[in-house]
Structure 1
Amino acid sequence: MELNPQAVAIPKSTEHLEKGKYGPIFPKTPACYGFTIVANVKPGHADTLRGYGVRLADSLKAEPHLLAPLKLHYLRWVLFDNDTRFMYQGIFDTDFDKYTEDAVVIFTRSGINTAFENLEGFSMDWKTNTQAFIQFLRDHQCNSFLEYGEYPYFTSDEIKKALKLKAAFTEMLEQMQ
């Protein structure tokens, strides 16, 4: 099976997209689904955001599958413009509606608050007001206009399965030697 990298140019207008529960449903691209959120950091909260990153990383060491329902490929958090702005970029296998609903459930159950609490305009009642959480994301979403996938349209579960197969095959070959 030969894999050919693919790219998709995404039009600026979202008017033609099917509407989901919380707005337009962006199509799956070769990179799967995802979004980029850019927002202003509350004054003096940059170090709190960094600390939150450490807390989340520690939580994942203790419970590696904490974020599994999100079907993530990766997350990237960036502070920029002298720590006054924050970028949250995620690539995942579910559509926007499911990802955001699952995120609210995960963080509410785990007792880990969202990093977004440190951003200007974020509703502090997000745990009981999913619509406010989603509206913040929609208001701060920066849509991509090109998405590329080296291994297009493969889900994180398919990638993990392929890696397990590779490891099993490697172990089998090593035992044959």
Structure 2
Amino acid sequence: MTTWNDFNSAEDQNNFDVIPKGTLVKVRMTIRPGGYDDASQGWTGGYATQSMTTGSVYLNCEFVVLDGPYAKRKMWSLIGLHSPKGPEWANMGRAFVKGILNSSRGLHPQDNSAQAQQARRIQGFADLDGIEFVAKVEMDKDQNGDDKNVIRTAITPDQKDYAAVSGNTVQPAASTQQASSPQASASAPTGRPSWAQ
């Protein structure tokens, strides 16, 4: 019988060391909704968060390792959408999301075929909530100055260990002839905001 006054039979705490920097892991990303929407930017569904102190807007993401020696470990990172200081943070966020889509959907970054371009489009942030991809574990400092793991880089099919970690077979990049064909490079109006194209 479990009682709340005798803890001798309780399990020991899990004391995890950080995952070594540079480790590649397959993760599932979930977005913690912040309730901030701006339909003119395509930010709907309450997924974005706005900082009350800086005014910046971001996706507050949790990454859970799916398998291997670090299975079930969690890391947290932000994906920048807007900063009052300028476009750099949003550009880094867009590049990260593009990498996530390339990794998750097995797209070579240089594949500019119509099919690849379509696969890099999302209907909204709901398409990213629950997405699985290969990520590189990086280090940062927490509020106490201790090391913590973060995810800021998606590993794509052109990188050497992608197939081994993802379990996907790697498709070769589209040929230069196909990638430069007029219909593949023409962008049809989609009605989506420019950040989502």
- Give the TM-score normalised by structure 1: 0.28
Greater gyration radius? 2
Greater RCO (Cα-Cα under 8 Å, separation 6 or more): 1
The normalised TM-score by structure 2 is 0.26
More strand by share: 2
